[in-house]
Chains A and B, each alone.
Chain A
Amino acid sequence: MEILVCVKRVPDTAENEFELNSAGNDLDRDDLVYSVNEWDNYAVEEAIQIVDNVGGSVTVVTVGDDESEEVLRREMAMGANNGVLLSDEAFEGSDGKGIAAILKAEIEKGKYDLILTGAQADEGAGQVGGMLAAMLDYPYASLVNKIEAVDDAVIKVGREIEGGNQEMNEIQLPSVLSIQTGINEPRYVGIRGIRKVASVDIPVKGAGDLGIDAAKVGDAGAKTKRVDYFVPDLGEGAEMLEGSTDEIIEKLIEKLKAKGGL
């Protein structure tokens, strides 16, 4: 099975404390560390496991700047066979649809049976997979936490739905799936693994190579745009509730209601 996994380089939520810059409109990016989006990592592991079982190859692709190459190398160190970097100034500022359109152009240049994305990334939108599928007219399933190959043309997938239940679907190939965390246990990639693939050639493709109209992607083509970042005032330390137990409970219930805890 030929599998393409779309990955993204994101600020690492586990290893960062996010603060705004002095102007207050963007993140303070000086001390941020980046890594591959956690969900994408599960998607790559899943792709590798499928290929280990039924044969084929795994290609990882990302849309981003030069620095995004590091996440491709990390995923190749995991066991992905090929990497492709889609990079062009014209791609900057793309919204979800822009990214999906760029990926679609690359996908149409190859022949993939299965396209995987992470269920969501740093922005938490969970949009690219579904858009890509719709653009390609491929069937789509989101939040996939189980994949069973049935035959060359059909797979069975489980989707994680509310209450920890699992929705089972049969999907025709080629298809696009967005992968939920916990579908597998991604293998560990250390510095050594990355160094081993340090010299592997990763092709870089721009708008011209992909035959993309620069006006349709990037900031120019984006219908949805981020204006700024901000942090609502949260105050320091806990607000201590005092008084009799009854009074405290009354105040607490009020607060819980306001925050959706009741």
Chain B
Amino acid sequence: MSSIIGPANFEFFGIFPAAILSFILPVVGVGLFAYIMARRLAPLVRAAPDYRFDHIGRRIQKLFVIWLGQIKQPRYMLAGVLHIVIFAGFLILSIRSVSLVIMGFSGGFVMPGFDGWVGVVYNFLKDYAATFVLIACIIAAVRRGFFKPARYAVPEKYGKDHTAEAIFVLGIIATLMISESLFEASELAYSLKETGEAHFVAPLTLVWILKHLLSGASFGFLQGLHIFSYFLHDVTFFFFLCFLPLGKHFHVITSLFNVFFMRLDKGKIKPVRHGVTEEQLDDLESFGVKKLEDFTWKHILDFYSCADCGRCSDQCPANAVGRPLSPRFISIKARDLIFQNYPLSGEIYKSKMLVEDIYTEDEIWSCTTCGACEEECPLAIEYIDKMVDLRRGMVDEGMVPQSLQKPLKALEKRGNPYGKMEKKRADWALEKEFKAAYTIKNLAKDEADTLYFVDSITSYDDNIQEIARHTAVILQRAGVDFGILGKEEKDSGNEVLRFGEEMLYQDLKEQNTQAILDTGVKQIVTADPHAYNALKNDYTGLPPVRHISQVVAEKITSGALSLKPCLDPDKVYVYHDPCYLGRHNGVYEDPRQALDAIDGLTRVEMEKSRDRSFCCGGGGLMLFYEPEEDTRMGVLRVNMAAEAGATVIVTACPFCLVNIQDAIKVAGKEGEMEALDFTELIARHLR
């Protein structure tokens, strides 16, 4: 098409064939990349096992939605759109880059299948791709360099600012885009100048602009520029390839795998060690994560994959209230340690106890396991399992704060964190007025279809026992034949498991499972999302478990329950999604449906709702833990509700109720706002 000499035929100073260089460059580049990757694989090989080869179909689907579809990206609109542009551009331009490399020593090379109209369309597309990527890079660089969004800031305790690396990489990408376009534009300009024949170029693309800019250049300049831009692209390309595994842009390579191998089951906690059954746990030398290599290979892959975008920490309630935890730095600190312990050459260093070396005890205890970070991560990085594994390691070493030792010991001795006597577990049913009107079956003696699993806080906390009574009233009125376990019930252990006390959890689980199976019930209902989660996701072999809000929604639809018009139509209600009902189990609509079934009830939504709900402060053992913090999560949550214009915060979790009730008082909003449990609101409106 033109007589410009391509890199495959060009000779430097008329003697040295450029093809040799363009052959050596990929050989060296790919070789070096392979070496670096082999070093990077070393910790994965040494890491703990993880079973991630199941449900291939679902995994491929996740790959399409989360990786290829970039579904999480627009949750942060500007950054998300920029990322989608760059990501899509990379995918499109990868073909072009590969053919460019080959063109370097094989003149006139065309990708198989790209010689016809496909090639024409592709060329059109890739020119726009390069242009948009360049624009996205410029916007991104300006954003990071000048506007500096807060979530990218690196607090002093976590090391130096990461802006330089980010801008540098944007510069590399821009160089790739410009050099690629120059390479093509110089050829087009040459051809035009020589033959006067204009080839079609996608208008307003980078190539198009450059071609026009170069229209006045000499043949010599264009030839030189053609070769220069080729090698600039080639060198930059292989430099970038080898640079990727050295920092946060490793995700360009690992994200595909990280998403494919992501955790599929929400609400579940990984076993202590994959491949070791519960019966074999006693034989394990050590529990949990103490050293780097105790993480599973997937968790190491997580660390490699973190793109440092800061969305996890931006959503993290612990981070928001100034607790010493920022999930982003759980990943970054581990990745830095991996890079340090597994250098690109030489000896591999031994890992010290992580909690002491890179993490602090408070940091790891600060997590409420609300799951906001995981929900947000565009790369499907996991945090809860890591927290639990680190806690398992600390528990195994005896590193448990005194404030948590008391309730743990009480759970061991009495099956509840308060140390109350087992025989008083059903005392909530003895309240005078309630007792006069209702009799609760004890499934140790009586029979029923349904078990109402009360759990500890609702059984023992004087203020929360109301939830048990309201739940019982609703079930009775809905015609559900139910009973309770009474003193046979133990704490569900949702937090015991998540606080790393595996054997105690196993103990509680066994006792509950046995007691439940002995009753022969066909379904389990609970009003405590933590119990709901544990029984539904962590336990095995139980009848189906439902939250009371699901029962209520169903019974309203079926007509078994009908609700009065709103008793307080002047109030403005807002529903707060409990983490263990919403994010971990996807129950978002049932409670809302039930609320909306109350005629004349005004309901608003908080900005952070459904899967972006903000944790109230945590349940179970978290009530006993004393974190360092500037304010309480509940206070922030109450303020969010106030901003939404609500006067009543309705929640469907006893722990949320405790935390939000407290927070209303701390926030000085007593009288202005109130917290109400879902069961109370429904029970009051029963016809």
Contacts and interface: CB of A to CB of B under 8 A. Distances in A.
Interface of A: 12, 14-17, 31, 33, 35, 78, 185-193, 195
A77 to B, nearest CB: 9
A31 B419 CA distance: 12
A15 B406 CA distance: 9
Interface in B396-411: 396-402, 404-406, 408-410
By CB atoms of chain A within 10 A, which of B282, B402, B408, B409 has the most? Answer: B409
A12 B413 contact: yes
Given A188-B395, A193-B396, A195-B503, 16 more contacts: A14-B406, A14-B410, A15-B409, A15-B414, A16-B419, A187-B397, A187-B400, A188-B398, A188-B399, A188-B400, A190-B395, A190-B412, A190-B503, A191-B504, A192-B502, A193-B398
Nearest to B413: A33
B409 A192 contact: no
A218 to B, nearest CB: 29
Nearest to B422: A31
Interface of B: 281-282, 287, 395-402, 404-406, 408-410, 412-414, 419-423, 501-504, 507
A35 B409 contact: yes
16 contacts: A12-B419, A14-B406, A14-B419, A17-B420, A31-B421, A31-B423, A187-B398, A188-B400, A189-B398, A190-B408, A190-B412, A190-B501, A191-B507, A192-B281, A192-B502, A193-B396
A192 B501 CA distance: 9
A242 B504 CA distance: 49
Contact of B287 (A12, A78, A185, A192): A192
Given A14-B406, A14-B419, A187-B398, A192 B503 contact: yes
Given A78-B398, A185-B402, A191 B419 contact: no
A138 B579 CA distance: 59
Given A17-B421, A31-B422, A188 B408 contact: yes
A15 B413 contact: yes
A195 B405 CA distance: 18
A192 B413 CA distance: 15
Nearest to B414: A15
A261 to B, nearest CB: 26
A192 B412 CA distance: 12
A195 to B, nearest CB: 6
A192 to B, nearest CB: 4
Nearest to B500: A190
A14 B502 CA distance: 23
The 10 closest A-B pairs by CB, nearest first: A187-B398, A188-B400, A15-B419, A191-B503, A33-B413, A192-B503, A188-B398, A15-B413, A15-B410, A14-B419
Nearest to A191: B503
B509 to A, nearest CB: 13
A33 to B, nearest CB: 4
A187 B502 contact: no
Nearest to B502: A192
Nearest to B410: A15
B573 to A, nearest CB: 35
Contacts of A185: 401-402
A193 B397 CA distance: 9
Nearest to B407: A14
A33 B397 CA distance: 25
Contacts of A192: 281-282, 287, 396, 502-503
By CB atoms of chain B within 10 A, which of A185, A190, A192 has the most? Answer: A190
A195 B421 contact: no
A187 B409 contact: no
Contacts of B398: 78, 187-189, 193
A195 B280 CA distance: 13
Contacts of A15: 409-410, 413-414, 419
Given A188-B395, A195-B282, A33 B503 contact: no
B183 to A, nearest CB: 64
A91 to B, nearest CB: 26
Contacts of B507: 191
B406 to A, nearest CB: 6
Contacts of B422: 31
A31 B504 CA distance: 20
A35 B405 CA distance: 13
B399 A187 contact: yes
A55 to B, nearest CB: 20
A22 to B, nearest CB: 16
Contact of B414 (A33, A187, A189): A33
Contacts of B396: 190, 192-193
A94 to B, nearest CB: 26
